[in-house]
Structures are given as structure tokens and as C-alpha cells.
Amino acid sequence: MGKTMLFITHKLDEVFRVYDRVTVLRRGNVVGHAQVSESTPQEISRLMVGRELAQPVELPKVVQGPVVLKVRALSANNDRGIQALNAVSFEIRAGEVLGIVGVDGNGQAELADTIAGMRHAQSGEVCMRGQSMLGHDVASRRKRFRVGYVPEDRHSTGLVLDFTLWENAMLRDHRRSPFSRFALLKSKRAREITQDWCSRYDVRMH
């Protein structure tokens, strides 16, 4: 007798490389079964997301714009005081998307944190449109330089887990309209806005 293997993944290349049969879960429910040899990636994708995926379109060639972000010889330590970045240099021009790839734990998080102002740079330079951002805190980089930050770990960095959903929703803007007025928090309005966001963006609450 042979052995049976249960393999759980969301990567389609693994499905078609390893599997014989596949069962698809969506929102905690079984939505379909398929024999891999008789299926296509498009069919499995449709089961996974519940709709047809848009076909990729050919994008027009982007005209290279001016340098927006320039990082030069940037070095920084991780939370244990060990060097995580060693003289990293790159630049991003207007209209470009730069991907930083590598196995987890090789400095990607420290690089993002240092650019956003959440981690101290040991040396080097980070410039936005020719102006140095070093010495500016997170709030200043967000307001003055329009730096946005999407955390890789939404639980440890992106949320306050002891807060309610609506309290988390207004973390950055709790002093601004429509969440507050004359320094008074409008909790009812904050709840209404949060509920609207949850419906609009299909946010799952547990």
C-alpha cells in the first residue's frame, strides 16, 4: 500500500506540480473538488476567488520620470542590534514599482521600517525628491514627504489588537473630521464609517 499526503497551499504552481486531486476551501466552506489532470489553473482560480479573474492586459511603456526616492549606502540594525542592512543603495523614479525580493529575514522589513522612519539608520541617506528624510519622524515623513507604509504583519504592527474595529479604523486620523470635531471624538460616526468600509471592502470580522 502507498502513502497518502495532505498538502495545503494557495500556490497554483504547487497544485499542478504536486497534487493528484484538489479540494478548494473558500470562507471555511468546501466549494469544489477537481482532478488536477483534468483541470486548468483558470478553473481552480475561479473556485478559489468565486469569480472569473480579469485577464492581464498589455500596459503601455512608461516614460521614465525623475528620481523620487533615493537610498544611498543605507545601513541599519535589527531589533537584536545585529546589522540587517549593509550599505544598501537604489533609486525609484516616478511611475516605477520596485520589488525587493529575498527569503524572509534578510533585511526587507528593516529596510521598509528605516525608510518609513520607524527604525534608526546607522549610516547612509534616504532622500525624497532631493530632500533628506533622516531626522524626520514617522508623522513628519507622512505629512511632509507623503510617505505611506503598509506593514507586513498586520497583527503586530498594523493593528492594536485590544482595540475595537472602529477604534483601529481611525488610528491615524482620530483627531480629524469626520472622526472628531472640536477635539471631541464622534464614536457613533466612527462606527458608521467603519461599517461602511467593512461592507465596501469585504472585511471579514472574527
Let me know if 63 is exposed, middle or buried by CB neighbors in 10 A (0-12, 13-18, 19+): exposed
Q: State how far Cα 187 lies from the chain centre.
A: 28
Mean pLDDT per segment of 10 residues, for the chain of length 206 residues?
Answer: 82 88 90 91 88 74 87 96 96 91 88 95 96 93 91 83 90 84 88 92 80
Strands 67-77, 83-93: pairing kind: antiparallel
Write down the pLDDT at residue 150: 87
pLDDT score at 1: 67
pTM over 0.75: no
Which pLDDT value is given to residue 172?
78
Pairing of strands 29-35, 123-128: unpaired
Domains of the chain, CATH where assigned: 12-49 (no CATH), 67-144 (3.40.50.300), 159-200 (no CATH)
Q: What sections of 92-159 are H helices per DSSP? A: 108-116, 138-144
The bridge status of strand 131-132 relative to strand 123-128 is antiparallel
Burial class (CB in 10 A: 0-12, 13-18, 19+), 76: buried
